[in-house]
C-alpha cells in the first residue's frame, strides 16, 4: 500500500488539468461523424470551450488534452491556449487507445498533482473545496461523486462514511451504491506506478486497484452534473450553460415583515410587504432576472397552519408581485421542523439544489439575498454568491448593491 505524507500534500496546489478527449463518441452520432466529441456545439460554441473557461476560473493555468479521433479539429481551434487565457499541451494517440493508455502516454507532460476529467461532463467545479477534501483524506486519488438525489441515472459507485470509495461498478448492477462518478478526479503522478504496459481502461484497471488499497476518496456533492454524452442530453446542457441571470430570495424578513414572536407568516392577514420590496421585484424582472424564493416554512409541521393556508399565501403573494410588475419563477419551501434532520431546511442547501435541478441553474453563477445567519450558511454551502442583510431592510437597496457586485465580478 502506498501512503503519502500529508504535510507534503498540503504544500501542493493544483495548477494543471488533464482532459480525456480522444474517443470516437459513437453515442453522440451523427454529430461525431464530422467532428470529435469536445467540438460538438452547445449554444453555438464548442463544448470544450465551456470546460476551459471553468478550469481557468478555478485557477488552472495549464491544460493537457489527450487526443485521438479527429484531433486536428481541436488543435487547430485551440492552438497553444493563449486565446483562452491558459497554456494548452497535447498528447495525441491512436483512436483505439483506451483511457488509461492515453494518460500513461502523457506521463512526461504531467505535473506532480493534476485534475483529471472527461471531455463530455460538466460539473460546477469549486476546485478549492475539492482540493481541501483531497488533502484532508491524504489518498492518492479523489473522485467527484454526485449523490444522485434526483435519480437522473443509476448509481455506479459507493462512498463510505469515512469518505473512501468502497465499490466502483461500471455495470451499475451492485446494490447499495450511493452515487454517480462525475469524473473531476485529483491524482498524484504516482498513479502511473499502477499502470500496465498494455492498452488498458483507466476505469477498469486502475480504479479497482486504488479502491483495494484504500487510496481513492470520494467527494460527495448534491449538485448534479451535465453531459453531452448522447444527443438527448444536449438540450438541458444547453439550457444550463446558456447565459442566464438568476437570483434567490429569502421571504420572511427579506420581502415581507416577520410577525412578532414568529419567524414565518401563518396566514395572508399577517403578510405585510416591506417598503420597496415590490419595487425590488419589479426591477429584477425588468433586468431579466429569474427570481426564486427559498423559504423555511415549518408551520405545517408544527400544526399551526395547513397546506391550504400556505398555498393561499403563495398564490396571493405571487399575484401581488405580478400586479406590481414583478415575476416569481418558483417558490421552494421546507415544511419540516427543526429536529427532522432534512436536507432542505436552511442552513442546509437542499432547496437550492432542488431549484437548480428543476430549472437547470448553475448555482455558481447565481445570487442570493437573505436576512438570517442560516441564509448565509445555506447560500455559501450551495456555492451561491450570498448577501445577508438585516431583517426588514430595504430590499431594493440590497438588490442594487448585489447587482453592482455582480457587474464588477463579471468585469474582472
Q: Which residues are catalytic?
A: 250, 252
* Cell digits of residue 313: 399565501
* Cell digits of residue 94: 491512436
Angstrom distance (rounded) from CA 390 to CA 371: 5
* Cell digits of residue 114: 493534476
Terminal Cα-to-Cα distance of the chain (whole angstroms) = 45
DSSP E strands, 234-347: 245-249, 289-296, 330-334
Phi, psi of 113 (to 5 degrees): -130, 135
Radius of gyration of the chain (CA): 24
Environment class of residue 226 by beta-carbon count within 10 Å: exposed (0-12), middle (13-18) or buried (19+)? Answer: buried
Instruction: Residue count of the chain, please give it.
Output: 412
Angstrom distance (rounded) from CA 230 to CA 32: 10
Q: Kindly report whether the peptide bond that precedes residue 357 is cis, defined as omega within 30 degrees of 0.
A: no
Angstrom distance (rounded) from CA 406 to CA 244: 13
b/e string for 9-47 if b means 16 or more Cβ within 10 A?
Answer: beeeebebbbbbbbbbbeebeebbeebbbbbbebeeebb
Angstrom distance (rounded) from CA 150 to CA 147: 9
Amino acid at each position: 500500500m502506498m501512503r503519502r505524507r500529508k504535510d507534503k500534500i498540503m504544500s501542493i496546489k493544483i495548477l494543471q488539468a488533464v482532459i480525456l478527449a480522444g474517443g470516437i463518441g459513437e453515442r453522440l452520432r451523427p454529430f461525431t461523424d464530422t467532428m470529435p466529441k469536445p467540438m460538438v456545439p452547445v449554444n453555438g460554441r464548442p463544448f470544450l470551450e465551456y470546460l476551459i473557461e471553468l478550469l481557468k476560473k478555478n485557477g488552472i493555468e495549464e491544460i493537457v488534452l489527450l487526443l485521438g479521433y479527429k484531433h486536428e479539429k481541436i488543435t487547430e481551434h485551440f492552438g497553444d491556449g493563449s486565446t483562452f487565457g491558459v497554456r494548452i499541451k497535447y498528447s495525441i494517440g491512436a483512436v483505439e487507445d483506451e483511457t488509461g493508455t492515453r494518460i500513461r502516454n502523457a506521463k512526461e507532460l504531467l505535473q506532480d498533482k493534476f485534475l483529471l476529467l472527461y471531455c463530455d461532463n460538466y460539473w460546477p467545479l469549486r476546485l478549492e473545496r475539492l482540493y481541501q477534501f483531497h488533502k484532508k483524506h491524504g489518498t492518492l486519488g479523489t473522485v467527484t461523486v454526485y449523490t444522485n438525489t434526483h435519480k437522473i441515472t443509476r448509481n455506479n459507485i459507493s462512498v463510505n462514511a469515512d469518505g473512501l470509495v468502497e465499490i466502483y461498478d461500471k455495470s451499475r448492477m451492485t446494490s447499495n451504491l450511493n452515487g454517480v462518478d462525475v469524473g473531476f478526479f485529483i491524482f498524484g503522478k504516482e498513479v502511473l506506478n499502477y499502470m500496465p504496459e498494455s492498452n488498458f481502461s483507466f476505469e477498469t484497471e486502475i480504479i479497482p486497484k486504488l479502491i483495494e488499497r484504500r487510496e481513492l476518496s470520494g467527494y460527495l456533492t448534491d449538485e448534479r452534473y451535465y453531459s453531452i454524452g448522447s444527443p438527448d442530453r444536449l438540450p438541458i446542457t444547453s439550457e444550463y450553460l446558456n447565459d442566464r441571470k438568476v437570483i434567490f430570495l429569502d421571504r420572511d424578513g427579506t420581502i415581507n415583515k416577520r410577525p412578532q414572536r414568529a419567524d414565518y407568516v401563518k396566514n395572508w392577514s399577517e403578510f405585510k410587504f416591506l417598503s420597496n420590496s415590490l419595487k425590488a421585484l419589479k426591477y429584477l424582472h425588468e433586468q431579466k432576472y429569474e427570481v426564486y424564493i427559498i423559504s423555511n416554512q415549518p408551520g405545517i409541521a408544527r400544526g399551526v397552519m395547513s397546506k391550504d393556508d400556505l398555498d393561499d399565501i403563495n398564490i396571493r403573494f405571487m399575484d401581488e408581485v405580478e400586479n406590481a410588475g414583478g415575476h416569481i419563477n418558483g417558490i421552494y419551501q421546507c415544511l419540516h421542523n427543526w429536529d427532522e434532520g432534512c436536507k432542505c431546511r436552511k442552513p442546509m442547501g437542499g432547496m437550492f439544489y432542488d431549484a437548480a435541478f428543476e430549472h437547470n441553474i448553475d448555482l455558481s453563477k447565481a445570487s442570493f439575498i437573505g436576512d438570517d445567519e442560516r441564509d448565509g450558511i445555506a447560500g455559501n454551502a450551495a456555492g451561491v454568491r450570498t448577501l445577508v442583510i438585516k431583517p426588514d431592510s430595504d430590499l431594493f437597496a440590497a438588490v442594487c448593491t448585489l447587482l453592482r457586485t455582480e457587474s464588477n465580478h463579471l468585469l474582472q
